[in-house]
A and B are shown apart, each in its own frame.
Chain A
C-alpha cells in the first residue's frame, strides 16, 4: 500500500523533488582497474615478479593481486613476508587441479575475486592476476584480463622461445627471467632473443634478473605505460 500525502496524492519522483541530472560522470568500462594477467610455467618466477612489481608500483598505484596457486596462502604469504602488500589486497582462487581452466575456460572465480577486491578496497588502478604454474599453452581469457605477461626462465632451457605456444607467441609482454643463471645452465641468451623475435614479431620481450634488479624496473615501466595509456584513452 503506497504512502499517500494529506491531499490524497501519491508522492512520486517529478516536480520539485526531481533530482535533476546525475551529477556524477557516467561510469565507463575504464572505471574499473586495469587487469594484467601474469602466466607461465611452474618455477619461472611469476610470484617473484608480482612481488617486484608491487615493490616498484605500490607507492604510485592503487593495486591488488589475485593468485591461483594450489598453495592457497603461499603466494599471499610471500607478498606479506616481503612487506609489499597487506593481506587485504591479496585474494587466492582455488582451481580444482586445472589452473588453465580458471584463467581461460571458466573465469568466474577469478572475476569474483577481482570484483570483490574492488568492492572492498574501493577504486583501484591495477589488479595483477597471477596464474598457477602451467605449461606453454596456458593463456588468459580476454574476458578476465586486459593484457598479459608470460614469464619463462633461462633455467627452463634456451629452446623455450623456439617451442612457441600461445603464451610465448601472443602474450602482450614476454619476460625471460633469471638471466643471472644463464652461464650456470648453459643457456644462450642471444638464441632466446633471436627465437623470441621470430615468434613474436613486434611484440616486446624483456630479459631480466630480479636477483639483480629487485624492482623488475623494465617490466614495471611497461606496466606503468599500460596503466597510463588506458587513463589517456578514458
Chain B
C-alpha cells in the first residue's frame, strides 16, 4: 500500500530532536551499557546504534507505520507492542514517551485520536503522523530515525564524544533508516501477530538494572 506522502517539512517538524516529546531524557538503554563498560568509544556507539536499528528500530518502524495506517486499531496495536516489550522499565519508558508525544501532537495537529491517555511511543508516533497528514512510510522512517538519534545524543552527553563524529555516524546510518523503514512497510498489510518482534535481551536486562539505580541521568 502506498499513500500519498505528506509535507516533507511537516515530517521534519515531527522528527526534530527538539520536539518537546520527552525524548531528551531517554538514552534508549545506552546509559546502562555505558555504565557496564560495554560502550566507551565512537565505534562502540556505531555498533550499538546498528543493533538498535536492526532490532527495536525495525519493530518501532513497523508499529509506527501501522499506527499511521490503522488509526482504527490503536488499542490492538498498542497491546501487540506491549507483548513485544518484555522489560517493565522499557514498557514504562515507552508509554511515558508516547504520552508526551500525544501532548505535543495535540498542540500541533489537534485530532480526537490524540486524546488517549498513554500509548506506546512507536504507535503514538504513527497516530500523530496520521494527524499531521503524513503517510505510513514517513511515520516508519521517523520511528527508525528516532531509534538512533536519541541514544546518539545521549552518547555525546554521557561519553563526551566529539559531536561531529557522532553526527557523521548518524549521516552514515541515515540510508539504513530508509532501508529499515522500507522493510517495515512490508508488514503494513500483515496481521498483528506477524508484525516484527526483534529484540535485544541485554538491553532489556540493562533497563531493569538501570531502573533500580539511585543515581541515573536518563529516565531509561
Per the bound structure, the CA–CA distance linking A111 and B99 in Å amounts to 11
The verdict on A134 contacting chain B, using a C-beta distance below 8 Å, is no
B100 touches A112 (CB 8 A): yes
Stretch at the interface among B1-9, B18-26, B37-45, B78-86: B18-26
Stretch at the interface among B133-141, B177-185, B209-217: B209-217
The B132-189 residues at the A interface (CB cut-off 8 A) are 154, 157-158
Interchain nearest-CB distance for B17 vs A (Å): 10
The verdict on B68 contacting chain A, using a C-beta distance below 8 Å, is no
The A74-94 residues at the B interface (CB cut-off 8 A) are 74, 93-94
A102-B25, A108-B103, A111-B103 known; A96 and B218 CB under 8 Å? yes
The A84-116 residues at the B interface (CB cut-off 8 A) are 93-98, 101-102, 105-109, 111-112
The verdict on B192 contacting chain A, using a C-beta distance below 8 Å, is no
Which one of B26, B104, B154, B217 has the highest number of Cβ atoms from chain A below 10 Å of its Cβ? B217
Task: Out of A71, A95, A98, A108, name the residue touching B214 (CB < 8 Å).
Answer: A71
Closest to B154 in A: A96
Interchain nearest-CB distance for A80 vs B (Å): 14
Q: Give the number of chain A interface residues (Cβ < 8 Å).
A: 20
B214 touches A109 (CB 8 A): no
The verdict on A226 contacting chain B, using a C-beta distance below 8 Å, is no
A108 touches B100 (CB 8 A): yes
Task: Out of A73, A74, A109, name the residue touching B25 (CB < 8 Å).
Answer: A109
Interchain nearest-CB distance for B45 vs A (Å): 16
A105-B18, A108-B21, A112-B100 known; A96 and B26 CB under 8 Å? yes
Q: Which residues does B use to contact A, with CB under 8 Å?
A: 18-27, 96, 99-100, 103-104, 154, 157-158, 214-219
